Amino acid sequence: MAKYEHRDADNRWHAFSDADNQVIEDAYRANKNKILLTMPQNPPGLREFEVRFGDNARSERMPRPPSTKIIQVNVASGATRIVRRIASPRGSNSAAMTRASSFADDPALYGWLLRRATSGWRRGAWQRRFFVLVPKSSCLLYFHRGLHTREVQLCRNADPSAPAARGTIPLANAMVCTDDVDGSKQHSFSIAVPGGFEYDLAAHSAAKKEAWLDQLVRVARGDDLIPAPPPTPARPQVG
């Protein structure tokens, strides 16, 4: 299970209890905006805290979400602390760490998405890019051109002969925000990575957005991907 820590005014990190870790992790996995933590053993005024996530990780004392996209707010005083999530290490038997025996065995998504440019004269413009999800490396690669299936598999396996990516989005401990970017770009979402950088992406349909979000969230949490069930064979026609 992932662990959570909050940072005090002296920049020292303090671990939450195992029970609080479980509550916070459950909320994180459920994509909740906030939860209430009650600590009755604390002195008065230090017993109730809100943990806020994603774009909701704001308070009067911290008007902008931190790079971790999680904060703790004292309900009584409004005192705010940054919270960080430390993902549990992947086990050696993790499917995401195992090289796929064939292309069809690997459920990781690949294909075209739109990416909003963050620099240059086209800053802010939506550009079509080819993306390959690489769970083994906890990253999302993107390319200017489309790749053949063999090239996709080379990227998945971190093969030295794989085509060079135009860019890499690190997913470990990233926060995947499901809301449309600026509330305007249809089927869009964003990925906030540790360090404060944010990537805006958009799919070409609601179904594709949901499929990408499901896998991106799993990889960011360190979970295994679940292969799609095999298609149901068609019944033979009689007569």
Q: Is the dihedral of CA 93, 158, 69, 200 positive or negative?
A: negative
CA distance 170 to 181: 19
One domain, residues 72 and 120: no
One domain, residues 78 and 170: no
Please say if the pLDDT value at position 50 is more than 80. Answer: yes
Mean pLDDT comparison of 58-72, 89-103, 105-119, highest-scoring range:
58-72
One domain, residues 121 and 178: yes
Q: Bridge partners of 188?
A: 202
Residue at which a domain ends, from 86, 121, 149: 86
Q: Encode pLDDT of 141-175 as tens digits.
A: 999 999 988 889 888 888 888 889 999 999 988 88
Residue 237 is assigned to a structural domain of this protein: no
Write down the pTM of the prediction.
Answer: 0.54
Given a contact cutoff of 8 angstroms between Cβ atoms, the answer to whether 113 and 201 are in contact is yes
| Domain with 73 in it | 3-86
Q: Encode pLDDT of 7-26 as tens digits.
A: 988 888 899 998 899 999 88
- Can you give the pLDDT at residue 111? 92
One domain, residues 144 and 205: yes
- Can you give the pLDDT at residue 101? 41
Instruction: Report in angstroms the alpha-carbon separations of 94 from 90, 110, 211, 226.
Output: 6, 20, 21, 11
- Can you give the pLDDT at residue 91? 46
- Can you give the pLDDT at residue 44? 81
Q: In total, how many domains does the chain have?
A: 2
Please say if the pLDDT value at position 99 is more than 70. Answer: no
Residue 231 is assigned to a structural domain of this protein: no
Q: Encode pLDDT of 210-239 as tens digits.
A: 999 999 988 888 877 765 455 455 555 554
Q: Encode pLDDT of 73-85 as tens digits.
A: 999 899 999 998 8
Q: Encode pLDDT of 115-128 as tens digits.
A: 988 776 767 788 99
Residue 232 is assigned to a structural domain of this protein: no
CA 47 to chain centroid: 30
CATH number, domain with residue 48? 3.30.720
CA distance 84 to 178: 20
- Can you give the pLDDT at residue 169? 93
Residue 238 is assigned to a structural domain of this protein: no
One domain, residues 142 and 216: yes
